[in-house]
């Protein structure tokens, strides 16, 4: 067995060998006419489209599986009655001010200067 390995090492030159098909210029595809080349290109395009469709389906399934694991639901409680009363009073004050035309927006700050109009 060692002798076979030594023989192989002596014959191995590290250079590529040209096969008879490579020398003759033959293709593995053996496309004879332009029509065959067109159908080959169409088959390749169809195969690529099928692979892409399968990949999209797998991605959608993975996303669906991941979203199925998302079961977090925060516990939301009603706000305390004191906060609700304060919010209602604030809304009532705003409605009263807008009904009187004395809206605070744009009237200026506490120093009487107009507010800037950027957002």
Question: What integer pLDDT is reported at residue 100 of this predicted model?
Answer: 84
Question: What integer pLDDT is reported at residue 14 of this predicted model?
Answer: 74
pLDDT digits 0-9 by tens, 60-102:
999 999 999 888 888 999 999 999 999 999 999 999 988 887 5
Burial label, 13 (beta-carbon count in 10 A; 0-12, 13-18, 19+): exposed
Question: What integer pLDDT is reported at residue 17 of this predicted model?
Answer: 76
Break the chain into its structural domains and give their ranges: 33-58
Name the one residue in this structure whose structure tokens are 């009487």.
Answer: 112
**Is the separation of the CB atoms in 37 and 48 below 8 Å?**
no
Question: What integer pLDDT is reported at residue 38 of this predicted model?
Answer: 78
Taking alpha carbons only, the member of 103, 86, 107, 106 closest to residue 95 is 103
* Number of Cα atoms under 13 Å in the Cβ half of residue 114: 4
Q: Where are the beta strands (DSSP E) in the chain?
A: none
pLDDT digits 0-9 by tens, 25-64:
666 666 666 677 778 888 899 999 999 999 999 999 999 9
């Amino acid at each position: 067995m060692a002798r076979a390995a030594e023989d192989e090492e002596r014959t191995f030159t590290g250079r590529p060998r040209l096969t008879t098909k490579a020398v003759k210029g033959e293709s593995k595809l053996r496309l004879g006419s332009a029509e065959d080349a067109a159908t080959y290109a169409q088959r390749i395009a169809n195969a690529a489209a099928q692979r892409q469709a399968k990949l999209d389906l797998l991605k959608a399934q993975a996303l669906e599986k991941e979203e199925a694991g998302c079961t977090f639901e925060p516990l939301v409680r009603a706000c305390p009655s004191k906060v609700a009363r304060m919010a209602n009073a604030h809304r009532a004050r705003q409605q009263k001010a807008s009904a009187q035309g004395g809206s605070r927006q744009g009237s200026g700050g506490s120093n009487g200067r107009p507010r800037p109009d950027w957002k």
